[in-house]
Amino acid sequence: MGLFDGKVGVILGVANEFSIAWQIAKYLHEQGAELAFNHLPDRDEKKRMERRVRKLAEPIGAKVIHPCDVSKDEDIAEFFSVVRQTYPQIDFLVHSIAFAPREDLQCPTLMASREGFKVAMDISAYSLIAVTRAAAEFMRDGGAVLTMTYYGGEKVVPGYNLMGLCKATLECAVRYLAYDLGPRNIRVNAISAGPMKTLAASAVGDFDEMLGLHRSVAPLGRNVRPEELGKAAAFLLSDLSSAVTGEVLHVDCGYNIMGAPGRSIKELLAKQEADRA
């Protein structure tokens, strides 16, 4: 038996096979979950967005693969109406969505535009509130909501810039939603994942340097593996975490606990000494 046998969930944010949302979906499916997926609405007849998601979701038997732009309330309403036609009740929701205009993300935060700020906050933070409100109506016996954040919402990470502000807001929203939905036995949590090469990460400056820094500083001496995010998500979405809500779980090989470079600085000094010898 799988941990999610008989469970139904909605996955928002799969873009391709490298997406964190897809890594989570794969593991939940392996554990028996039935899953519904969204994709961004296509603007042309080639339907690239839909084809990318269908390529992944259809082989695992997904019965719902439907467009949804989370910046539009009417799209959210329509998407969950389609979900309801197949699944009158759901058990969990995964929100793995973030966006900022490239020019506002790659410039110093000081220079981010007002419009860029509004777009980034709407899609990256407010969307969690909007989709949770819609999904909660289907969680009649309680349920779980999970979103994805990053350490750049807690501390300054050069290159993360405007998205750091969005993630800080998202994490605060997790706590307030957990309070609002607690009486309905709906839990709301977040995973703060270590850096991974995804489509979204490609917009962050110096990403390869970020990977190297995490690997050298983290106590485990490596970066997080995709399947580890799936396992952590399964914990937070299952009854194994039935008393956990409003939390941010760091799945980053321990990087967030470090207040100094630790072993990595010793290795760097040793290398510099060897180079001088």
β-pairing verdict for 34-39 and 64-67? parallel
Task: Give the integer Cα–Cα distance in Å for 99 and 269.
Answer: 39
- Active-site option among 87, 150, 151, 255: 150
Give, in order, the Cα–Cα distances in Å from 73 to each of 118, 127, 131, 199. 16, 9, 9, 25
- Active-site option among 27, 87, 160, 255: 160
Q: Is 125 within 8 Å of 173 (Cβ atoms)?
A: yes
End-to-end alpha carbon distance in the chain:
60
Identify whether 255 is a catalytic site residue: no
Q: How many helices (H) and strands (E) does the chain have?
A: 10, 7
Phi, psi torsion values for 59, nearest 5 degrees: -60, -20
Structure tokens given for 45? 């007849």
Identify whether 151 is a catalytic site residue: no
The CA R_g of the chain, rounded to the nearest whole Å, is 19
- Residue 69: alpha-carbon gap to chain centroid: 16
Q: Which residues are annotated as catalytic?
A: 150, 160
